[in-house]
Amino acid sequence: MPSRLLSSLFEYVVGSAGFLPVVDAWSPLVGILGFVLGSAFIGGSELWKLHRISRGADGSFGSRDAATATCVEGGACAGGWGFFFGTLLYWAYYDALVGAPYMAVLALWLVGSTAFTFGGLSLAYRHFVMGVV
C-alpha cells in the first residue's frame, strides 16, 4: 500500500509542476497525465480499501471504527475519481474550455476537493476523538 501512495503522490507532484506556465508551454501533457495517473492510482487503491473494509475480515464490520474508516477511505476514493474524471474532461476540451465543459471540469474538481477534505476531517476525528493511531 505505501508504494501506491508514493506513486500517487509522485504523479500529483509531477502533475502540479506540469501546470506551471513554463512547463505547460513546453507540453500540457505533463500536468494532465500526472493528474490522470495519480488520480487513477488513488481512486483504485482507495476502492480496494473500501472493499476490504466492507468484507469486515477482522470482525469489525458495522462498528464505529469501520464506519469512520469508510469515511476516510471513501473521501479519498471519491476525491481521486473526481480529479480523474475532471482532468480527463479538461484534457478533452483543452483548446476550447469555455461554457458548460469549463463548469463541468470545475464541478468535478470541486467534488474531488470536497471529498478529499471530508476524508481528511474523518481521519482527524479518528485520531483526536477516537484515539485510533
How far apart are the C-alpha atoms of 109 and 95, rounded to whole Å? 19
pLDDT band, residue 131 (cuts 50/70/90): confident
How far apart are the C-alpha atoms of 88 and 76, rounded to whole Å? 18
How far apart are the C-alpha atoms of 23 and 31, rounded to whole Å? 8
pLDDT tens for residues 34-91?
A: 889 989 999 999 999 998 888 775 555 567 888 899 999 999 999 999 999 999 999 9
Is the distance from CB of 105 to CB of 90 less than 8 angstroms? Answer: yes
Res. 94: pLDDT tops 80: yes
How far apart are the C-alpha atoms of 83 and 67, rounded to whole Å? 24
How far apart are the C-alpha atoms of 81 and 46, rounded to whole Å? 10
Domain residue extents for the chain: 2-128
pLDDT band, residue 24 (cuts 50/70/90): confident
pLDDT of residue 53: 87
Q: Which is more confidently placed, 112 or 19?
A: 112
Res. 25: pLDDT tops 90: no
Secondary structure of the chain as H, E, C letters: CHHHHHHHHHHHHHHHHHCCHHHHHHCCHHHHHHHHHHHHHHHHHHHHHHHHHHHCCCCCCCCHHHHHHHHHHHHHHHHHHHHHHHHHHHHHCHHHCCHHHHHHHHHHHHHHHHHHHHHHHHHHHHHHCCCCC
